[in-house]
Amino acid sequence: METANDRFNHLASYFEKTRGVRITTKATYKHGWQILDTIWKGLTFGKGKSILTDYTTTVGSTIYFPLGWTKEHANEVDYITFCHELKHVERYKSLGLGSAALGFVIFLLLYLFVPLPILFAWFRYAFEREAYLESYNAAKRIGLKPEIDYYVKLLTGVSYLWAWPFPCLVRRWFLKRCR
């Protein structure tokens, strides 16, 4: 029987070999991540979790898992997170006409600033919504029962700087696609 760790490592190996995806931790460029963590704490008025230890982040084709994470101990949550982050890599490549690096620059500008950095961040909401739909589907594929309200809370809360302030609309979007 395939374990969560096996599932993660098979998928990771495939994407590393065929799509140029790199998987590492935030120990790579740790000082840069520490600076971003400090900025993040300020933007969220101290309410945001640590970028270093609580969030997985994708930059171009590189997926950075939190400090202390290892492939050898990957579990169901890591598999779901990896599927989520792969959606971002796909989006980068589509925005960059095949180039994840160019796509990341375009993605970042849209993600952070259009139309507003906080509250009405349409592109942040849309990009993350798409990735969380993949998270939902990944959880279902491995026999879990994901809760839509969990994703609604993330997308309308501090985790994404209150990207979209309408929980009922977010919930409706997921309900149309997740049954």
Residue-wise pLDDT for 65-114, tens only, equals: 999 999 999 999 999 999 999 999 999 999 998 888 899 899 999 999 98
Q: What is the pLDDT of residue 159?
A: 94
Position 162 pLDDT exceeds 80: yes
**For residue 135, pLDDT beyond 80:** yes
Asked if residue 1 has pLDDT above 80, the reply is: no
> Residue 157's CB: how many other CB atoms inside 10 A?
16
Amino acid present at 128? E
Q: How far apart are CA 54 and CA 88, in angstroms?
A: 18
pLDDT at residue 12 in the model: 87
What's the whole-model pTM score? 0.92
The average pLDDT across 161-169 equals: 95
Q: Are 61 and 21 in contact (CB under 8 A)?
A: yes
Instruction: Using a pLDDT cut of 70, give the percent of the chain over it.
Output: 100
pLDDT band at 51 (very low <50, low <70, confident <90, very high): very high
Instruction: Reduce the secondary structure of the chain to three states and give it as a string.
Output: CCCHHHHHHHHHHHHHHHHCCEEEECCCCHHHHHHHHHHHHHHCCCCCCCCCCCCCEEECCEEEECCCCCHHHCCHHHHHHHHHHHHHHHHHHHHCCCCHHHHHHHHHHHHHHCCCCCCCCHHHHHHHHHHHHHHHHHHHHCCCCCCHHHHHHHHHCHHHCCCCCCHHHHHHHHHHHCC
pLDDT at res. 8: 86
